[in-house]
Amino acid sequence: MAVIAIYLGASLLPFQVVDYFKPGIFPIMFLIGPLLYLYVSSLTIEDFRLKPIQLLHLLPFLLIVIHRATVQVVPISSTPDLVENPDYLFNKIYYSLLIVSVFGYWFFGLKLLIKHRKKIPLYFSNYTSKNTLSWLIFVLSLFLFLFITSFFVFFISNVLELGLIRYSTLSVNLTIFTFIMVYFGINQTAIYEMRPTGPKNENGGAYTDSSEPKYASSALTDEQLEEIAEIILKYLKESKPYLNNEYNLQMMARDLALSKHTLSQVINRGQKKNFYRFINGFRVEEVKEKLTDPAFEHYSILGIAHECGFNSKTSFNRIFKEETGLTPTQYIKNMPRR
């Protein structure tokens, strides 16, 4: 947002920035792609931290700044005619590189989002607007449309000198992108974080197991798999943490003092399910139990589903049928009379 604000602010100045600062304001456009990519990374990569090696993303920006500081620079908005303005050749090169940069970072950002969405069933027990990042896919698509459209319009007019379109829409598109990014992004919080689950063991603390050290190895024996599976099943049946619709693998790992890798290995190999299917199987059993409980006879089916940790009617109906072979309505009809 700061980079966009600086660029738009510079366009309002009554003079060319290069008259007072030789590199001009144009090089900061090479920061937009990297910054958006790092923002996507911060949401989709677990335990994301900025590292010194990521400073390499600044390299194109720094190289353009240095180059413009050492050559005869002309404003980006000046005439592209190389006969009248031969030094504009460098601007054509800069703009061609900018298009490659923006498109490249858009592509890699989209790859991160796709990879993240494939991992959701391994870490989360529900699909939510927060962990699916559907809005960010929309924003990246908008980014591609607005920026690439503006850049190609400028590229056609000023680099290829075809003169098909005379007016740049970049400032307008930057403004639109800023408002939409803020509108959606302001409510997005970290996806991979630890939260209290609520249910506790009989001692009032997290349900833990002191034998964790012997499970530190990534390759578990069949005996270890079976032992940890029993710990997990006992924990789920006694504490029922899945009643929290935001329950995830991180919460289970914290409560059991086991690594997420170990838990995933046990669930995937031992139960033949991913975390999403495994937890929702317990929720279905909880629904079936509450359907026969007189204390819940005044609840609707959907109300019971929400009480058991489901967060939408669509996912509940689909998962219930996958687990039981019947829809919730069919299951109720086949239930013995109370």
pLDDT given for residue 217 in this prediction: 47
Q: What percent of the chain has pLDDT over 70?
A: 86
Return phi, psi of residue 102, to 5°. Answer: -60, -45
Highest mean pLDDT among 3-7, 14-18, 194-198, 287-291: 287-291
Contact 102, 148 (CB under 8 A): yes
Q: What is the mean pLDDT of residues 112-137?
A: 91
C-alpha distances out from residue 150 to 56, 102, 156, 172, 262, Å: 26, 12, 10, 9, 49
**Residue 21 burial (CB count, 10 A):** 13
Q: What is the mean pLDDT of residues 38-54?
A: 91
Highest mean pLDDT among 34-48, 84-98, 169-183: 34-48
Residue with tokens 């009379």: 337
Q: Which residues contact 62 (CB under 8 A, 6 or more apart)?
A: none
Q: Is the four-CA dihedral 45, 50, 52, 53 of positive or negative sign?
A: positive
Nearest to 235 by CA among 201, 205, 273, 282: 201
Contact 203, 189 (CB under 8 A): no
Q: What is the mean pLDDT of residues 134-140?
A: 89
pLDDT digits (tens, 9 = 90+) for 257-287: 988 889 998 998 888 889 999 999 999 999 9
Q: Which fold has domain 212-333?
A: Arc Repressor Mutant, subunit A (1.10.10)
88-92, 126-130, 273-277, 324-328: least confident range: 88-92
pLDDT given for residue 283 in this prediction: 96
Q: What is the pTM of this model?
A: 0.79
pLDDT band at 47 (very low <50, low <70, confident <90, very high): confident
For the chain, the domains span 2-185, 212-333
Nearest to 148 by CA among 117, 103, 187, 114: 103
13-17, 59-63, 189-193, 250-254: least confident range: 189-193
Give the 3-state secondary structure of residue 203.
coil
pLDDT given for residue 17 in this prediction: 85
**Spacing of C-alpha 296 from chain mean position:** 37
Spatial separation of the C-alpha atoms in residues 238 and 101, rounded to whole Å = 53
163: left (phi over 0), alpha (psi -120 to 50) or beta: left
pLDDT band at 87 (very low <50, low <70, confident <90, very high): confident
pLDDT digits (tens, 9 = 90+) for 178-230: 888 888 888 888 887 644 444 444 444 444 443 444 454 457 788 888 899 99
Could you write out the DSSP letters of every residue in 121-135?
Answer: HHHBSS--HHHH-HH
Spatial separation of the C-alpha atoms in residues 28 and 152, rounded to whole Å = 18
Contact 112, 40 (CB under 8 A): yes
